[in-house]
Amino acid sequence: MSRKRGGRKGPKPEILQDDGTRLPPEEAAKLSAEAAAYAASDADYEYFEEEAEAEDALPPPTIEDALYALEAWADADRAAQIKAQTGTSCRVIGVTATGITDMAAMWREALDNEGRVSLAHELWQSGIFEARIAAAKLLTQARMRPDDMAWQLLTQWIEEADCFALIDALCKPAAKRLQGNLARLSQLDAWAADGQPTLSGDLEEDELDDDAIEPPQGPVGPKIAIFLMTRPYTKLRNPKPEDHRVQDHLLTLAARLAPGAPVELSRAIGRWLADLAKFERARVEHFLATQEHLPRTLRREAQNGL
C-alpha cells in the first residue's frame, strides 16, 4: 500500500535548558501553553506587505535638457580629436561614447515611442555630432510599433550623414527596422541606383589602383549603408528561404556597385562578403570567381572570410 507523504509527523522538539538538560515537566508545559497562546493571538492580525516606494521617475527630457546634458560633458581636446578622426563638418562637443550611450538609455526609459522619435528628430536637427549619435541610439530598440516614422528619419539621416561614424551609428537601428519589414529593401535598391559609380576611364582590372578610382557622382554614404545595415543577414547559422532570397538580392546589388567602387564602398562590400563567407563559403567563392572588375580592396577584404 502506498503511504501519503507528510501524513506522519515526527516527535515534537523538546524544550531544553541552557545546559542541554530537559526542563521539568511543569515548566515545559507552561512554555508550550504560552507559545500556543501567542500563535493563536498572532493569527488574529491581518498581514500585509507595504508597497515599495516607487522610485522617482525621471520626467521626459526636452531638447533643451538633452543638449544641456551633452554640453556638460564638453571636452575641447577630445572634440578636436573626434573631429580629426571622423572628418565630420558637424559641431563636436567632445562627449565620450559611454556618456552618449548612458544618456540615450536614460532618455529612452523616460519617453514613450512617440517621444523618442520626436526627441531624436530634434537632436539630429541640432547639427551637433554627439547629439546625432544620440538620436540614432534613441531608435535602437528592436520593437517599435509603429516604426514607419523612425524608418523614414533614419533613411533621411543616412542620406545627410557626412562621415562614416554617423552612418555606422544610424545603420544599427535601421537594421532592426529593415528586419521587421523586408518591403523596405526597395529603399536600398533606390540608393544603389542613385548615381551608380562607374569605372574611371578604360582601365583593366589589373591596372586599377584604389587611389586612382574617382568617387561616384551620386552619394556614396547610402551605398555603404546598404552593406552595413544588412550585415545581420550574413551571420545566420540556419537561414530560412526568405533569408537566402535577401542574401541573393544583396549579392546582386554588390555585383552592380562593385566595379569602380571607391575605397570606402569597396571595404564595406568586401567585409559584407567576408562575413557571409563564414557561413556561405561556396556562394562567396562563386561571386568572386564570376565578377569582373572587382577592386583589389574588395577582393582583399572578402578573402579574409575565406
Torsion of CA 15, 21, 27, 28, to 10 degrees: 30
**How confident is the model over 153-177, as pLDDT tens digits?**
999 999 999 999 999 999 999 999 9
pLDDT grade, residue 253 (50/70/90)? very high
Containing H/E element for 289?
helix 281-290
In the 8-state DSSP scheme, what is residue 46? P
Instruction: Round to whole Å and give the CA distance between 306 and 302.
Output: 7
pLDDT grade, residue 20 (50/70/90)? low
**How confident is the model over 192-240, as pLDDT tens digits?**
998 754 433 333 333 334 444 444 446 899 999 999 999 999 999 999 9
Query: For residue 146, is the peptide bond before it cis, meaning its omega torsion is within 30 degrees of 0?
Result: yes
Say what the pLDDT of residue 145 is: 85
Whether residue 250 is predicted with pLDDT greater than 80 in this model: the reply is yes
Average pLDDT, the chain: 84
Cell of 143: 520593437
Q: Are 161 and 128 in contact (CB under 8 A)?
A: no
- Going by C-beta distance under 8 Å and a sequence separation of 6 or more, which residues neighbour residue 261? 197, 213, 216, 223, 269, 295, 298
